[in-house]
Amino acid sequence: MSKKPDLLHKLVDYGNSDFYPFHMPGHKRQMNSEFLKEFPNPYSIDITEIDGFDNLHHPEEILKDSMDWAADIYGADRTYYLVNGSSCGILSAICGTTSLGGTILMSRNCHKSVYHGVILNHLKTEYIYPQIIDEFGLQGGLLPDSVAEMLKNHSDIQAVLVVSPTYDGIVSDIKGIAKVVHSYGIPLIVDEAHGAHFPFGKEAGFPVSALELGADIVIQSLHKTLPSFTQTAVMHVKKGYVDIERINQYAQIFQSSSPSYIFIAGMERCIGFMDQNGNEQMKLFMERLKGLRRRLEGLKRLHLLNTQDTQGNENHSGVFDLDLSKIIIGTRRSGISGAELSDRLREQYHLEMEMCGPDYITAITTVMDTEEGLNRLGDALLELEMELDAKAGCRGFCETDRETGSKVCCGVDYGFDCGAIYAADNNKSEGLYSVYKRPDIVMTIAEALDKKAGKATGRATEKVEEKTAEKTEICYSEGRISCEFIYLYPPGIPIVAPGEVLSGEIIDTIMEYKRLGLPVQGMEDQCAEWIMTVEND
């Protein structure tokens, strides 16, 4: 490489540009706010475990007092500062509540860190599948009855782990789920990574935190939706169904042995700010959100997810509540994909979304978002809506500009394929593929990964032991057992996990995601062309 990369200057240049972040971290780089402006130069306070500053792995003084103070604010029996992100808390919670080789009941739409915990403890998995919000191809909520049915039929389950809210702000009935789980005498773990603002926003109309609704362990990413550094998170634990000392042991294992005091001070400052000013700030934030949502109510080609969209079936798609700070824009009525909309917002309006799916985009807003930023998003979406609507009557006689590659209709470069819009408008397109299928499970995740590594777990049957993993082209792997994960990242929810059979429907979905330019990841092959599999008898 002839020229040394310079990440720092690239970050500085980007920070000085007019790109606006509708993504994490939650502080939104608002350095002009008093809260962020007062934080000192990080180099001036970067220390290690010296006298008078305690030790996060054996807190007895200032760090213990700080975490006890945080526990009082949240209503937990113990709160842990996590400098390795929510993933650290997820791993600690899983390993601290299950035995090696045990069984966990988990929602299928869990983040990849949950699956990593399953691998580390060689767990067997049972899944609860979320309901579906059809209009968006989105995961809905989880039903307490589904949890009850699984627990009734699987007496070996040692813990239950669910995601609420989801990446897209869908909240499940945690109180109902906790009641069911506790009736079997086991703990409920809630990945509330995207709901760190809930404890401070209840009065403003945001959902209630899982910790108040009966969950035993709740993990929250401060950096996702609050003004805190990337990689900072907290884990709250309640006594009763959890052995806190086991959780403590694993928290020490998964935390860095050199925790950043900058991160810890940032977490303490964030929690203090929200405790003192949170209620009022969240109310103001909700008013700004409502103003944006009112502007977008009339969208037709694009579609804003709101509470009415979660009432589409008898169970309301399993949705108990909706976090209005997540701005979800569906594209199924527009004839364009989520990736196309995300690209257009980035390239034309300098608005960076958090993620895009096949049929929608997700914009994360937080208490630090400005009125100007929200107005820019509203203006952009309304302008794109007008362009899409203006082209809706076209029968598809578009030409492709040879230089730009854009679709040109009637001499105007809209960047949209009016033929696709026409098809969507006349119900000739059923939209793109829906969310995650239900693959057949042939072996545990750990067993399948060991096949890839050429090792034997000793827990598989003799028949399974004889199988060896081989590199297979994805498009020709139907019927074989995956030895790798495949997911879109973000959000990192598996389309298929190791040990599961690759069906034709799953392969079609993966190939369509690739065609759309979505981030298909998880495999050793970074081009996502090949996958390690074993034969399925």
pLDDT tens-digit series, residues 480-521: 999 999 988 878 788 999 999 999 999 998 998 888 888 899
Q: Which residues pair with 327 in a beta bridge?
A: 363
Torsion angle of C-alpha atoms 237, 238, 239, 242, degrees rounded to 10:
-50
For 236-262, how does the pLDDT look when each residue is reduced to its tens digit (9 = 90+)? 999 999 999 999 999 999 999 999 999
Confidence class for position 459, pLDDT limits 50, 70, 90:
very low
Closest CA to 190 of 169, 165, 155, 224: 165
Report phi then psi at 226, rounded to 5. -130, 165
Nearest to 178 by CA among 196, 160, 166: 160
Above 90 in pLDDT, residue 375?
yes
Burial of residue 432, with CB atoms counted within 10 A of its CB: 0-12 exposed, 13-18 middle, 19 or more buried:
buried
pLDDT for 420 equals: 62
pLDDT, tens only, 151-178: 999 999 999 999 999 999 999 999 999 9
pLDDT, residue 427, reads 47
Q: For helices 112-120 and 85-97, what crossing angle results, to 10°? A: 40
Beta bridge partners of 408: 399, 413
Is 36 in contact with 28 (CB distance < 8 Å)? no
Q: What residue ranges in 215-285 does DSSP mark as E strands?
A: 217-221, 233-237
pLDDT higher at 320 or 317: 320
Q: How far apart are CA 337 and CA 449, in angstroms?
A: 33
Using CB atoms within 10 Å of the CB of residue 32, give its burial: 0 to 12 exposed, 13 to 18 middle, 19+ buried. Answer: exposed
Instruction: State the DSSP H helix or E strand holding residue 163, giving kind and residue range, or none if neither.
Output: strand 157-163
Question: Packing angle between helix 144-153 and helix 174-182, nearest 10 degrees?
Answer: 20
SS3 237: strand
Angle, helix 371-390 to helix 261-296, in steps of 10 degrees: 40
Distance CA 256, CA 276 (A): 30
> How large is the average pLDDT for residues 220-225?
98
Mean pLDDT score across all residues of the chain = 90
Please identify which residue in the block is written with the tokens 């959902």.
207
Give the model's confidence band at 393: pLDDT under 50 very low, under 70 low, under 90 confident, else very high. Answer: low
H or E element, residue 374? helix 371-390
Give the span between the Cα atoms of 188 and 216, in whole angstroms. Answer: 5
Per-residue tokens: 77: 């029996």
Identity of the residue numbered 299: L
- 133 falls in which pLDDT band (50, 70, 90)? confident
- Is residue 358 over pLDDT 70? yes
Q: Which residue has the higher pLDDT, 37 or 17?
A: 17
pTM (2 d.p.):
0.90
pLDDT in tens, 415-456: 566 656 555 555 433 444 444 568 999 999 999 999 887 744
**pLDDT score recorded for residue 429:** 39
